[in-house]
Amino acid sequence: MQTHSHVISVLNQGLVLDVALGELGFTAYVVVSEPDISRVADLVPQEHYDRHGDLHVTAIEAADEAHEQIIELAFHMNQGDAAVFLCRDEPAYMAALHELGQQIPSVSHN
């Protein structure tokens, strides 16, 4: 399934993306964060709750879980919904961004 996205805004430790995952279009809030549901209120402004359909939240514990977590969450979403991805660390965050269609440049360590 082809995925494309563009950055809507920059958050503290993350990004808000407009995502097209196959036929599904949704807003993704992707941040580096412990899997704490109380963080969602800090990430998604009240006016965004009114604009979106349902709001879905998932934690991505490790980089190798990103694909499965995103596909599983998308399965339960409808057009116009929003998703919050709480990524435990930087590798999980980068993997989630990649799975959501962002072109992540490789970093060379010399």
pLDDT tens by residue, 77-107: 999 999 999 999 999 999 999 999 998 755 4
Host domain of residue 85: 3-99
Q: Which of 84, 67, 103 is nearest to 31 (CA)?
A: 84
Determine the pLDDT at residue 110.
41
Q: Could you give phi then psi for residue 9, rounded to 5 degrees? A: -160, 165
Mean pLDDT for the stretch of residues 21-31: 95
104 domain-assigned: no
106 domain-assigned: no
Q: Which of 14, 12, 17 is nearest to 94 (CA)?
A: 14
State how many domains the chain has. Answer: 1
105 domain-assigned: no
Mean pLDDT for the stretch of residues 20-25: 94
Tell me the CA end-to-end span of the chain in Å, nearest whole number: 35
Query: Cβ distance 22 to 1 under 8 Å?
Result: yes
Looking at the whole model, is its pTM more than 0.95? no
110 domain-assigned: no
d(CA 7, CA 18): 6
Query: Cβ distance 76 to 58 under 8 Å?
Result: no
- Cβ-in-10-Å burial (0-12, 13-18, 19+) of 47 comes to exposed
d(CA 55, CA 43): 12
Determine the pLDDT at residue 105.
59
12 domain-assigned: yes
